[in-house]
Amino acid sequence: MSMNGVMRPGHVALRVLDMEAAVRHYTDVLGLVETGRDARGRVYFKCWDEHDHHSLVLREADRAGLDYLGFKVVDEATLDRLAAGIDAFGITTETVPAGEHLATGRRVRFTAPTGQVFELYASKDVVGNGMPTVNPGIQPANLKGIAPVRLDHVLVYGADVEGSVALFRDVLGFQVTESVSDNGKYMAAFMSCSTKVHDIAFVGLPGEGKLHHIAFYVDSWSDVLRAADVISMTETSHDLGPTRHGATRGQTVYFFDPSGNRNEAFTGGYMWYPDRPPLQWTPDELPRALFIHEKKLRDEFMSVVT
Of the residues 14, 73, 83, 155, which one makes contact with ligand M3P according to CB under 6 A: 155
264 binds Fe ion (CB under 5 A): yes
Give the contacts of 36 (CB within 8 A, at least 6 positions apart): 43, 44, 53, 54, 102, 103
Q: What is the nearest approach in angstroms of Fe ion to the Cβ of residue 75?
A: 29
Annotation says 198 is catalytic:
yes
Give the contacts of 222 (CB within 8 A, at least 6 positions apart): none
Q: Which is nearer to Fe ion, 211 or 215 (CB)?
A: 215
**CA 203 – CA 261 distance, rounded (Å):** 17
Annotation says 153 is catalytic:
yes
Q: What is the nearest approach in angstroms of ligand M3P to the Cβ of residue 298?
A: 10
12 binds ligand M3P (CB under 6 A): no
Annotation says 300 is catalytic:
no
Cβ–Cβ under 8 Å, residues 211 and 66: yes
- The 3 state secondary structure assigned to 214-231 is EEEECCCHHHHHHHHHHH
Burial class (CB within 10 angstroms; exposed 0-12, middle 13-18, buried 19+) of 306: buried
Distances from the Cα of 125 to the Cα of 103, 104, 109, 122, angstroms: 5, 6, 20, 10
Q: Which is nearer to ligand M3P, 35 or 116 (CB)?
A: 116
Strands 150-157 and 200-203: parallel
3-state secondary structure of 268: strand
Q: What is the nearest approach in angstroms of ligand M3P to the Cβ of residue 295?
A: 14
Q: 263-298 burial by CB neighbour count: b if 16+ within 10 A, else e?
A: bbbbbbbeebeeeeeebbbeeeebebbbbeeeeeee
Which range in 30-38, 64-72, 127-135, 245-253 contacts ligand M3P by CB under 6 A? 245-253
**Footprint of ligand M3P on residues 28-47 (CB under 6 A)?**
none
Annotation says 11 is catalytic:
no
Q: What is the nearest approach in angstroms of Fe ion to the Cβ of residue 99?
A: 32
Which range in 98-106, 110-118, 122-130, 246-254 contacts ligand M3P by CB under 6 A? 246-254
Cβ–Cβ under 8 Å, residues 268 and 249: yes
Give the contacts of 296 (CB within 8 A, at least 6 positions apart): 287
Annotated catalytic residue: which of 254, 270, 294, 300?
Answer: 254
Annotated catalytic residue: which of 153, 157, 178, 217?
Answer: 153
266 binds ligand M3P (CB under 6 A): yes
Cβ–Cβ under 8 Å, residues 294 and 301: no
CA angle centred on 181, ends 178 and 182, rounded to 5°: 150
264 binds ligand M3P (CB under 6 A): yes
215 binds Fe ion (CB under 5 A): yes
215 binds ligand M3P (CB under 6 A): yes
Which range in 202-210, 261-269, 270-278, 287-295 contacts Fe ion by CB under 5 A? 261-269
121 touches which of Fe ion, ligand M3P, none (CB within 5 to 8 A by kind)?
none
Residues that bind ligand M3P (CB under 6 A): 155, 188, 203, 212, 215, 245, 247-248, 250, 264, 266, 290
Residues that bind Fe ion (CB under 5 A): 215, 264
Question: Annotated catalytic sites, by residue?
Answer: 153, 198, 213, 245, 254, 264
